[in-house]
């Protein structure tokens, strides 16, 4: 019997392919980020062995503890930080991650503006938009997004690649995806990190270039 993660990965791949076809998009226009947070290396290895090369983690410390041996076994694997980042962990994050999806505060931008050039690494940055304007959720309010994106470029010298959103759990995701896509377009940003296990097909319909899928691959956390 093959490990359960492989059935999950195959099913997710199939649904991404179908969603791309329905949206008349190339499969290569969507990057699957396999979200391995909370899962041990033993659960991740079969997914690496199957060829998956982009993974998401939401904590710097957990990723630092878990990933170095896995990265050594599979060079060319990219790690994306999808959870909140404290400014004082920016340096560690930049050393380990190839992309950060949670740029959302001036203090973090200031820290990244310092550590990124010094690191010599290229890290793709996404600004998180709090599309539902939920007080408990991270992210820039939609009405502040244009000014924040401009400040990233002009004040901190950060090249922003795209936007990320996490729709409210109790709402239809489509309007949140549409809003995120609209803000990206008017700011000339081409990448959209949106869609999780429950809604990645919808996100692809609305232009997602990066889908962050955890439980549909690895099972319940
Ligand atoms: C955990 C997490 C995911 C994956 O969620 P699933 O529902 O398990 O697919 C995606 N994005 C973020 C920001 C997460 O924290």
* Nearest CA, atom 4, ligand 1: 214
Q: Indicate if ligand 1 lies below 6 Å from the C-beta of 38.
A: no
Whether 6 shows a pLDDT value over 60: the answer reads yes
Q: Indicate if ligand 1 lies below 6 Å from the C-beta of 215.
A: yes
Q: Indicate if ligand 1 lies below 6 Å from the C-beta of 48.
A: no
Nearest to 6 by CA among 39, 56, 41, 48: 48
Looking at residue 39, its pLDDT comes to: 97
Q: Indicate if ligand 1 lies below 6 Å from the C-beta of 211.
A: no
* Nearest CA, atom 13, ligand 1: 82
The answer to whether the CB of 5 falls within 8 A of the CB of 46 is yes
Collapsed DSSP state (helix, strand, coil) of residue 197: coil
CA of 213 to the centre of ligand 1 (A): 6
CA of 36 to the centre of ligand 1 (A): 9
Q: Enumerate the β-bridge partners of residue 193.
A: 164, 210
Structure confidence by residue, pLDDT tens digits, 22-80? 999 999 999 999 999 999 999 999 999 999 999 999 999 999 999 999 999 999 999 99
Q: Indicate if ligand 1 lies below 6 Å from the C-beta of 212.
A: yes
Q: Enumerate the β-bridge partners of residue 80.
A: 56, 99
Q: How many residues does the chain have?
A: 221
Nearest to 151 by CA among 127, 184, 170: 127
How many whole angstroms separate alpha carbon 99 and alpha carbon 121? Answer: 11
Structure confidence by residue, pLDDT tens digits, 82-121? 999 999 999 999 999 999 999 999 999 999 999 999 999 9
CA of 154 to the centre of ligand 1 (A): 31
Looking at residue 160, its pLDDT comes to: 98
Q: Indicate if ligand 1 lies below 6 Å from the C-beta of 83.
A: yes
Looking at residue 95, its pLDDT comes to: 97
Looking at residue 13, its pLDDT comes to: 98
* Nearest CA, atom 12, ligand 1: 82
Tokens of residue 100, six digits: 């950060």
Looking at residue 5, its pLDDT comes to: 79
CA of 166 to the centre of ligand 1 (A): 9
> pTM of the entire structure?
0.97
Whether 208 shows a pLDDT value over 70: the answer reads yes
Sequence-distant (≥ 6) Cβ neighbours of residue 121 within 8 angstroms: 94, 95
Q: Indicate if ligand 1 lies below 6 Å from the C-beta of 59.
A: no
b/e per residue 67-78 (b: at least 16 CB within 10 A)? beebbeebeebe
The kind and range of the H/E element at 124 are: strand 124-129
Structure confidence by residue, pLDDT tens digits, 117-155? 999 999 999 999 999 999 999 999 999 999 999 999 999
Whether 2 shows a pLDDT value over 80: the answer reads no
């Amino acid at each position: 019997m093959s490990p359960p993660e492989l059935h999950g990965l195959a099913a997710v791949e199939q649904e991404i392919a179908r969603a791309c076809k329905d949206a008349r998009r190339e499969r290569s226009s969507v990057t699957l980020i396999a979200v391995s947070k909370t899962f041990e290396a033993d659960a991740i290895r079969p997914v690496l062995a199957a060829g998956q090369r982009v993974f998401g983690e939401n904590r710097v410390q957990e990723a630092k503890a878990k990933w170095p041996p896995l990265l050594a076994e599979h060079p060319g694997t990219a790690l994306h930080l999808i959870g909140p980042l404290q400014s004082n962990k920016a340096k560690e994050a930049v050393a380990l991650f190839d992309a950060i999806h949670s740029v959302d505060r001036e203090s973090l931008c200031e820290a990244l503006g310092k550590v990124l050039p010094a690191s010599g690494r290229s890290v793709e940055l996404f600004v998180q938009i709090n599309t539902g304007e939920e007080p408990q959720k991270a992210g820039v309010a939609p009405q502040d997004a244009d000014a924040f994106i401009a400040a990233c470029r002009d004040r901190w010298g950060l090249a922003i690649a795209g936007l990320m959103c996490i729709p409210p759990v109790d709402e239809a995701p489509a309007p949140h995806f549409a809003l995120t896509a609209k803000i990206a377009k008017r700011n000339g940003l081409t990448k959209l990190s949106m869609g999780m296990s429950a809604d990645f097909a919808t996100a692809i319909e609305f232009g997602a270039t990066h889908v962050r899928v955890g439980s549909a691959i690895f099972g319940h956390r």
